[in-house]
A and B are shown apart, each in its own frame.
Chain A
Amino acid sequence: MTRHIRHAALFCLLLLAALLVSAVRVQIVRAGSYDDNPANRRASIARYGQPRGDVLVGGAPVTGSRDTKEQLRYERTYPDGPLYAPVTGFASQAYGTTFLEHAEDGILSGTDPMLAPFPLLSGLTHARARGGDVVTTINRSAQEAAYEGLEGRKGAVAALDPATGRILALVTSPSYDPAELSGNGLPAMRAWARLNADPDKPMLNRAVRQTYPPGSTFKVVTAAAALDAGVVTDLDAPTDSPDPYRLPGTTTRLTNEGDGCADASLRSAFEWSCNTVFAKLGVDVGVDRMASTASGFGFNDTSLRIPYSAVRSTFDTQVDKAQLGLSSIGQYNTRATPLQMAMVAAAVADGGQVREPYLVERTVRRGGETVATTGPRPVRQAMRPGTAALMKELMTDVVTEGTGRNAAIPGAVVGGKTGTAQHGVGNTGTPYAWFVSWAQGDDDVQPRVAVAVVVEDASAHRGEITGGGFAAPIARAVMRAVLDS
């Protein structure tokens, strides 16, 4: 019987060995796929088990975390939600994350390997680092000025530091409170449904995720292309352009709002925003040069990340001459985000250089120790420095004596360009009012702020919507806030 007892013992041993093999299979071999299974709540529990890192503006957090004592413990709070919504985005337990909350999620949630105290051991111990903070480039008073300026209207503001590409203000209106979406309960579901159904699209980040026809503000690009290409060499020389201008190959006659555009010089055409002159200049420059200048400014760039992605601003390169004429005055298929137009103004302000805009200055550990700093951004020369100097002159004239007088700031040099962009079927939509500008304090060595404002104001009479009337005061408030800070 002894032999058989040994056999039976061996059998029992085999059973227990099989259990060990099974445990290794589940806990080690397949563990990765089980951990990543979307139905496994552990990832969510760990993610919300600690306070999320914060987004900082001017050294102070604009986000927070609230202990709900529920299974998913910490919920995002936003003390000033609507103001910073296009910067922070939301961090929802039910609907994921957007914008900075999404792009910097690794830092904020503590999963970024850079945060782990012992990176090699983190896989073994399952330890999760405390969430780090994200220091933004936003200028609080500029952000507030832009938000107050847009109050009650639909539109967006983007402001940049021309010398670095730092984004100083990013505002969209109407906005919403991302805190409403933080939880995963019924209130969040209701808010989600309501915000998505809202015809005003409050969750749309109009400053970087919405393109508009830039209208006359695009004439900055066209003028730069004409100067760079040598089509215009003297700002004050007549441009040999008729009024009205018949678009080549068509019978369509292009006209202007005001008089005095026939054969006007580039200076006065820019000052009074002559469509005829710039359509002709665009056609004279040609599609290739126009397109290369536009892409130098950042048009047709699909790869821009600030660090979340911006939508592509477009300048159509498959056009005939008539379409090119319209494209050159910011119509037809030319579309730009407010951020793109701020980049255009910034390029003029900074000697023709375009710096990729960015929103995150650096990321830091909870204690303040820097994890990563946004390094020098790539620089593109969108136009020759000489051209940029001439463009500064043109834009300054617009504010001192042209359509942009509303943007003037005492004690500062301000350059700007208004725009009124038509859109809709047969241009029946309420036009968009644009203003792009830059400002340099009298004591500053170079311009300190470039800004683009768009107001899609449905409430005003059509005739009154001009960039100078609606958008320029907002731009002025933002520029003043930056210059004062």
Chain B
Amino acid sequence: MTNAGTTVAAADPPTSAVRLPRRRGIELALIVLAVLLSVYGYCAVGLARHGTLPPGAAGYGAGLGVLALVAHVAVRIRAPYADPLPLPIGVLLNGLGLVLIYRLDLTTPHDRAAPAQLVWSTLGVALFIVVVLLLRDHRVLQEHAQACMVAALALLTLPILFPAVNGARIWIRIAGFSIQPGEFAKVLLAVFFAAYLAANRSALAYAGRRFWWVQLPTGRVLGPIVAIWLLSVGVLVLERDLGTSLLFFGLFVVLLYVATGRTGWIAVGLLLAVLGAVAVGRLEPHVHSRVQDWLHPFASIEAGEGPGQVAQSLFAFAAGGMLGTGLGLGHSSLIGFATKSDFVLATAGEELGLAGLTAIFLLYALLVERGYRAGLAVRDPFGQLLAVGLASLVALQVFVIAGGVTGLIPLTGMAMPFLAQGGSSVVTNWAIVALLIRLSDSARRPQGDGPEGTPHHPDDGRSAGRPQDHGESEASR
């Protein structure tokens, strides 16, 4: 670490180096805007439903504001160069999600989900703060890739021991709280994939036998990763959680492509996907019915059994039209089951219209774009792959669930990031945002400033599990 001291000293005079703007002020302004928008939505619901401002509006605004500000302060302290957009986007989406859930609670007075969601959001922001404060360097994660993998598999396997809920064995209940361990596993698997691929990407890219135009990797390299992927997907099929299965597969293929640059991977991936889809579609009646619902959403109406969930969801979107009915004035509760979780986007579509839905999609797109930007800017392959993985995770989640509820693809249960009811999902997404903040901070931080004290060396990806300890370099600042 002696090296660190010298570089810091060299960069110390502020006049000599070109300092990138930290843009924390922009972040703060955007956070204030996000909180105000959420409070406005909350008030709009109350005014529409009861003609008065909801009693908790001030408390809600204050709570969300304090959470966001604490997170902002944490970023200011530990990640001053971070991208200013991810945090406000997270706050706005989470705030909007709380508004939508609060609004849907009004139609189900006996089943209130907003208070619990608020608790989970708090936990999520707390995790965000913990990650930003304690994880000084993302490369620490690389060292614990193996542990991440083991933990992910454990989390995925855990719910098998618990009874199935609504046909899917993905929940565990502890002390009244339902937890979906698979959500946490997403981030852990992304970390593991990124670390593993960063370490082995050369071997994956260049070794192996050519088969037609596809360069097949050697079994030795490919073996472990396919095994783990198969295992996780197998577990998911057993748990009947197709959305997550699809998500992992997509993540795997994207990271593999980015790491190796081999289009052959995409071909292999698509082939595997088709084979898997056909096999699962044949074998699993659960999946088969989902595909039928997608192809013929109105079949149950024609059969005289009334509209199914997908049909009700389409009705809700259609009712929104261009501008929507206004918050609190739609009838998305007709969807019935899972209105607040899987189908929460239908409420947004009905009450905010295509205009609001476009705004929400753009927020997600912006978040994904900032993630990719961090991936492009960060200097180590693990960081690049991790940023790409996390951003893709968000994009794929949004696509799988939003595509499902709008009838673009068969519906698979999954939480809309930040919007949907589901504590594990909110916490996980805050962790993703925290990691993106960390990665973007690393990417933009002037070299030698702060924890990334070691001068960056061209990393060919063989550094997985390297012994250096980056945490100590903070002392040199």
Contacts and interface: CB of A to CB of B under 8 A. Distances in A.
Interface in A4-37: 4-9, 11-13, 15-16, 18-20, 22-28, 30-32, 34-35, 37
A3 B261 contact: yes
A27 B320 CA distance: 7
B372 A8 contact: yes
A41 B334 contact: yes
A41 B354 CA distance: 21
Given A13-B365, A18-B403, A34-B315, A27 B321 contact: yes
Interface in B387-412: 388, 391-392, 395-396, 398-399, 402-403, 406-408
B318 A35 contact: yes
B388 A27 contact: no
B311 A39 contact: yes
B101 interface: no
A125 B320 CA distance: 9
B301 interface: yes
Contacts of B79: none
Interface in B324-351: 325, 331, 334, 349
B323 interface: yes
B407 A22 contact: yes
Contacts of B321: 27-28, 31, 124, 126
B372 A9 contact: yes
Contact of A19 (B259, B298, B384, B398): B398
Interface string B30-68: 000000000000000000000000000000000000000
Nearest to B399: A15
A41 B261 contact: no
A21 to B, nearest CB: 8
A38 B384 CA distance: 52
Interface string A25-64: 1111011101101111110010000000000000000000
A1 interface: yes
Contacts of A19: 361, 398-399, 402-403, 406, 408
Interface string A127-153: 000000000000000000000000000
Given A8-B257, A8-B372, A11-B254, A20 B361 contact: yes
Most buried by B among A3, A11, A24, A26: A26
Contacts of B318: 26-27, 30-32, 34-35, 40
B314 A34 contact: yes
A30 B314 CA distance: 9
Interface in A421-470: none
Contacts of B322: 27-28, 124
B349 A23 contact: yes
B317 interface: yes
Nearest to B201: A1
B431 to A, nearest CB: 19
A99 B168 CA distance: 52
Contacts of A31: 317-319, 321
A9 B306 contact: no
Contacts of B261: 1, 3-4
B403 A27 contact: no
Contacts of A24: 354
A2 interface: yes
B258 A4 contact: yes
Interface in B285-317: 298, 301, 306-307, 311, 314-315, 317
A37 B314 CA distance: 11
Contacts of B406: 19, 22-23, 25-26
Interface in B86-104: none
B388 A39 contact: no
Nearest to A41: B334
B303 to A, nearest CB: 11
Contacts of A26: 314, 317-318, 349, 406-407
B460 to A, nearest CB: 11
Interface residues of A, number: 39
Interface string A112-131: 00000000000011100000
Contact of A27 (B357, B365, B391, B392): B357
Contact of A20 (B258, B311, B358): B358
A111 B320 CA distance: 18
Nearest to B320: A27
Most buried by A among B257, B321, B364: B321
Nearest to B400: A15
Nearest to A9: B372
Contacts of B258: 1, 4-5, 7-8
Contacts of B391: 9, 12
A42 B315 contact: yes
A15 B409 CA distance: 11
B319 A18 contact: no
B376 interface: yes
A13 B398 CA distance: 11
Contacts of A39: 298, 301, 306-307, 311, 315
B353 interface: yes
B403 A16 contact: no
A6 B261 CA distance: 11
B300 to A, nearest CB: 9
A124 B311 CA distance: 23
B298 A37 contact: yes
B375 interface: yes
B105 interface: no
A313 B298 CA distance: 45
B319 A35 contact: yes
B301 A15 contact: no
Contacts of A11: 254
B408 A18 contact: yes
Contacts of B143: none
B398 A16 contact: yes
A140 B78 CA distance: 83
B156 interface: no
A8 B376 contact: no
A8 B396 CA distance: 12
Contact of A5 (B354, B376, B395): B376
Contacts of B331: 41-42, 45
B254 A40 contact: no
B315 A12 contact: no
B392 A8 contact: yes
B398 to A, nearest CB: 7
Contacts of A34: 314-315, 317-319
A45 B316 CA distance: 13
Most buried by B among A28, A45, A124: A28
B469 to A, nearest CB: 26
Contacts of A7: 257-258
A1 B365 contact: no
Most buried by A among B368, B381, B403, B408: B408
A24 B358 CA distance: 9
Contact of B372 (A5, A25, A37): A5
A6 B388 CA distance: 10
A16 B381 contact: no
A11 B255 CA distance: 12
A363 B353 CA distance: 34
Contacts of A2: 376
B392 A12 contact: yes
A124 B257 CA distance: 45
Instruction: Give the top 5 A-B pairs by smallest Cβ distance, nearest first.
Output: A34-B318, A12-B395, A31-B318, A22-B408, A9-B372
Given A22-B407, A22-B408, A27-B318, 6 more contacts: A19-B406, A20-B361, A23-B358, A31-B319, A40-B318, A126-B321
18 contacts: A1-B384, A4-B259, A4-B261, A8-B257, A9-B391, A12-B368, A12-B392, A13-B369, A22-B406, A23-B354, A23-B361, A28-B322, A31-B317, A34-B314, A38-B301, A39-B298, A39-B301, A42-B331
Interface of B: 254, 257-259, 261, 298, 301, 306-307, 311, 314-315, 317-323, 325, 331, 334, 349, 353-354, 357-358, 361, 364-365, 368-369, 372, 375-376, 381, 384, 388, 391-392, 395-396, 398-399, 402-403, 406-408
